[in-house]
Amino acid sequence: MNSVSGHKTLQEVWRLGAERLSQAGVEEAAADAELLLLHLLGKSKAELLRDWREPFAAELEGAWEALLRRREAGEPVQYVTGEQYFYGRRFAVSPAVLVPRPETELLAEALLAAGDRLWPDSVDGGGGPTVLDVGTGSGALAVTLAAERPGWRVTASDLSPDALDVARGNAAAHGVDGRIWFVQGDLLKPFLAETEVEPIDILVSNPPYIPSGDVLGLQREVREFEPHLALDGGTDGLDPYRRMTADLRKLQKMPRVVAFEVGAGQADDVAELLRAAADWDDVGFVIDYAGIKRHVIAIR
């Protein structure tokens, strides 16, 4: 074990940790070391900066070493700390769910804007749309929409019961568990017309979209630690979109909004699948921080 206690300050411990992670090939070594230290100390970033020159407690050395070793081995920092922030809220995450990505926040923003435009009364808590989040994972999207718009009625589904457990916990943590219904099932199967479910106004999904042959080429953190069930989208990555767009007309009614997150280079193909499935007033794209068409949104 590399000793880091003694007279070393919190700042020195952070710097040495960042150097270790960098040598292990961690891309965001400094940021990840900071997140691990904040988690270990139970401090906010402001508190850590305030206490930079305070000594590092010797009794924390073993726990710090364990955190660094997990991250050095490639485990995502969010799994090590058990949390990720999304749309300003803390979400618990585990290896049962994908780590929520910042670009998915853009999808939440786009849905809130579309919903406010189509159901203006819901902005003030009035009658709002019914929303289905397919493949909810950690529940980040479903919980965010429910928390931001109390008048919206949200259902969250996932094929994985372990993922649904994580999502339920996040819904409870943010006080919306009484307004989100959780359903286990494969894509739209639980919601087809023969089932007794409420018609869907807004359908949103961030499904698996990595082509099967590309999964092994993903970065180590994703390939070795994130759930392949939530990654593998079939031969070309488009299987979930084909299945969902084919099932749209089997729902009790056609949603007014369908929004999908997609992989790089898939947006135009997914837009064509949506256009073939129904007549829309608009099929548009949301561009992410890297300039990629990351979300496809159809509205009627």
CA distances in angstroms from 275 to 14, 245, 269, 281, listed in the order given: 52, 9, 10, 10
Give me the pLDDT at residue 43, please: 93
Residue 139 assigned as binding residue: yes
pLDDT along the chain (300 residues), means of 10: 63 96 93 96 93 94 96 93 96 94 96 94 76 97 96 95 97 96 94 77 89 69 66 78 93 95 94 95 95 96
Residue 135 assigned as binding residue: yes
Residue 207 assigned as binding residue: yes
Give me the pLDDT at residue 237, please: 82
228 and 183 Cβ atoms separated by less than 8 Å: no
SS3 category, 86: strand
Give me the pLDDT at residue 34, please: 96
Contact partners, residue 103, CB within 8 Å, separation at least 6: 261, 288, 289, 290, 294
Beta carbons within 10 angstroms of residue 65's beta carbon = 16
Residue 235 assigned as binding residue: no
Residue 137 assigned as binding residue: yes
Give me the pLDDT at residue 120, please: 87
Residue 158 assigned as binding residue: yes
Residue 240 assigned as binding residue: no
Single-letter amino acid code for the residue at 117: R
Residue 170 assigned as binding residue: no
Residue 160 assigned as binding residue: no
Residue 88 assigned as binding residue: no
Beta carbons within 10 angstroms of residue 82's beta carbon = 12
Q: What would the 3-class secondary structure string for 173-193 be?
A: HCCCHHHEEEEECCCCHHHCC
Whether this model's pTM surpasses 0.85: yes
Give me the pLDDT at residue 141, please: 98
To which residue do tokens 């994972």 refer?
A: 137
First to last CA, the chain: 61
92 and 78 Cβ atoms separated by less than 8 Å: no
Which sequence spans correspond to the domains of the chain?
Answer: 10-73, 101-299
- Among the four given CATH numbers 3.40.50.2020, 3.40.50.150, 3.40.50.970, 3.40.309.10, the one describing domain 101-299: 3.40.50.150
